[in-house]
A and B are shown apart, each in its own frame.
Chain A
Amino acid sequence: MAPPRSFLWSRRIFLTLLTGFVLVPVYVMVSSSLKPLADVTGKFRWLPTELTVRPYIDIWSTVPLGRYFVNSLIVAGAATVCSVVIAVFSAYAVSRYTFRGKRVFTVTVLSTQMFPGILFLLPLFLIYVNIGNATGIALFGSRGGLILTYLTFSLPFSIWMLIGYFDSVPRDLDEAAMVDGCGPLGALFRVVVPAAVPGIVAVAVYAFMTAWGEVLFASVMTNDTTRTLAVGLQGYSTLNDVYWNQIMAASLVVSVPVVAGFLLLQRYLVAGLTAGAVK
């Protein structure tokens, strides 16, 4: 059955407008990153007067972008790995066992989702400083402190999504595995985890993106050597000049890995959301 003509036309118009809305900033980012400085400080132009890759060379020396990149990669990568592993264990426990305090746990996990990040900023700062004073472990200003912070922000969402996902893996499967001689952990790793790969990938993508894009904690809890991209990009605005072409070039360099990864894995994300969050 073909949809009516009027629907086809309104769909065409709507999708065109929406594509424009989505694409214009992306176009501005790309085109401005290829313009000479004079071109971005003057009146806006849709087309560059001359194309140059100079901004892509200069971004690495105006600010230590390479170092920020490595910092972000370490922080986001570690937070993702830890968050996925911990979420898998917790979600398995919640999905497969009944135990005292289960409801309290799930409600707590769910409700930490609704807390504004600002609520934790100062107390965490104080805790990290206190731990540092008491034990000599420098959490404040270190990558470790930031990893710890980030992984707990993605943890509630990850657990929540994985519970839904694990619930959709038939219980018979891991019970059969246990009958065949697997322990509970064997059943988890041989049956449940492989069956839940889309959900786990979705959770990992989400955790990585959250950590890669976080601004608040990164700006308060890092120092010169541990600064991440989120904060580092501010370095392109100096007292005299704002290097818009370099900002756009750096933004693109920073965005391409996550956007590419996301688009490659979005199939899994949709599948994960269907089974998890959407339930």
Chain B
Amino acid sequence: MTATAPAAEAAVRKSSPGAARGPRRRPGRIRRIGLPYLLLLPALLLELLVHLVPMVIGIVMSFKELTQFYIRDWGTAPWAALDNYKVSVDFDAPVGEALLHSFLVTIAFTLLSVGLCWLIGTAAAICLQDTFRGRGLLRALFLVPYALPVYTAVITWVFMFQHDNGLVNHVLHDQLGLTDKPSFWLIGDNSFVALLTVSVWKGWPFAFLIVMAGLQNIPRELYEAAALDGAGMLQQIRRITLPSLRPVNQVLVLVLFLWTFNDFNTPYVLFGKTAPEAADLISVHIYQASFVTWNFGTGSAMSVLLLLFLLVVTGAYLVLTSRGRRAPHA
């Protein structure tokens, strides 16, 4: 028995009347220590098989000269030492230059998409905070893009972005006359706009959902007190809503960032195996380097670099936000 047991027992007894009914059954020491591990075992095994082992293999592969000739028996592929990494970060040569370009496109895309998703989601959640007629309907409606399977949603957008028979050109050119001639949306520079539109359309409801959940935790009395003190609508949002949402937003922004940054499904369904340069997101870029040009070694090196970047960003973010949390205000 540990020294804390009587205290814990007393605490239980105080809080639950049922405790008086019988003596507490104590599991054996081994069972008590072994049980958590036993409960974790299935998850551990699966994580090991599908995440950790592949990651180790991926790292090993990044040091090998792994082309399609060695894929059947990849252990025999010759060592490349740091060659794959050198090629990936040599920004003057084509491979490195393309990787850097793709990285920058992904950063720009992610920042814009996360920003817009957060903005629209938060605005919509605040708008639906009060009860009014049709609120439930709107709430359900707004969740539809999130609930739709990615490929069906993106395929619909592909159809809308078609050059000859798409809705977007029909509205912008034929109906509003905003463009001289129908534009191409899925190739060339416009593809960035197309990708961003689809990503925001699909992603903002998640922000909406989370912020809505966060809003429920803000006590109404805060608003009432603020209103009594003469604070207007905007002031209440700025002084009460946004600060109270801060912990929620910290998680939300991190999750949105990682999901958007790593998104493969949206660009892949929108553009296919090779994305246009302006919308060449890093996931598809690595896929293309590995499975289209058949250079798995370089592809793996790029993946490892990407992973290092994400680790640094996430780590820095977590440190910054936890420091913020410890600050006197928060």
Contact = CB atoms under 8 A, between A and B. Distances in A.
B328 to A, nearest CB: 21
A90 B55 CA distance: 22
A179 B286 CA distance: 55
Contacts of A122: 58, 61, 290-291, 296, 299-300
Contact of B150 (A11, A181, A215): A215
29 contacts: A1-B224, A14-B127, A25-B160, A43-B164, A43-B170, A105-B40, A105-B44, A114-B258, A115-B51, A116-B286, A116-B310, A118-B264, A120-B54, A122-B61, A123-B54, A127-B54, A148-B50, A159-B43, A176-B15, A176-B19, A178-B24, A184-B27, A233-B151, A233-B155, A248-B159, A251-B151, A258-B147, A259-B144, A259-B147
Interface bracket on A = 35 or more
Contact of B40 (A19, A89, A117): A89
A269 B209 contact: yes
B246 to A, nearest CB: 12
Interface in B166-213: 166-167, 169-170, 174, 201, 209-210, 212-213
Nearest to B134: A15
Contacts of B91: none
A93 B264 contact: no
A26 B47 contact: no
Interface string A229-272: 11001000000000010011001101100110011001001110
Interface of B: 12, 15-16, 18-19, 21-22, 24-25, 27, 33, 35-37, 39-40, 42-44, 46-47, 49-55, 57-58, 61, 71, 74, 120, 123-124, 127, 130, 138, 140-153, 155-157, 159-160, 164-167, 169-170, 174, 201, 209-210, 212-214, 216-217, 224, 227, 232-233, 247-248, 251, 255, 258, 261-262, 264-265, 268-269, 282-283, 286-287, 290-291, 296, 299-300, 303, 306-307, 310-311, 314
Contacts of A14: 123-124, 127
B209 A273 contact: yes
Contact of B156 (A3, A25, A109, A184): A25
Given A152-B47, A248-B159, A22 B144 contact: yes
A84 B264 CA distance: 25
A266 B53 CA distance: 35
Interface stretch (A47-55, A56-64, A206-214): A206-214
Given A19-B141, A176-B18, A179-B21, A4 B149 contact: no
Contacts of B306: 116, 119
The B interface is mostly helix, strand or loop, or mixed, namely: helix
Contacts of A44: 165-167, 169-170
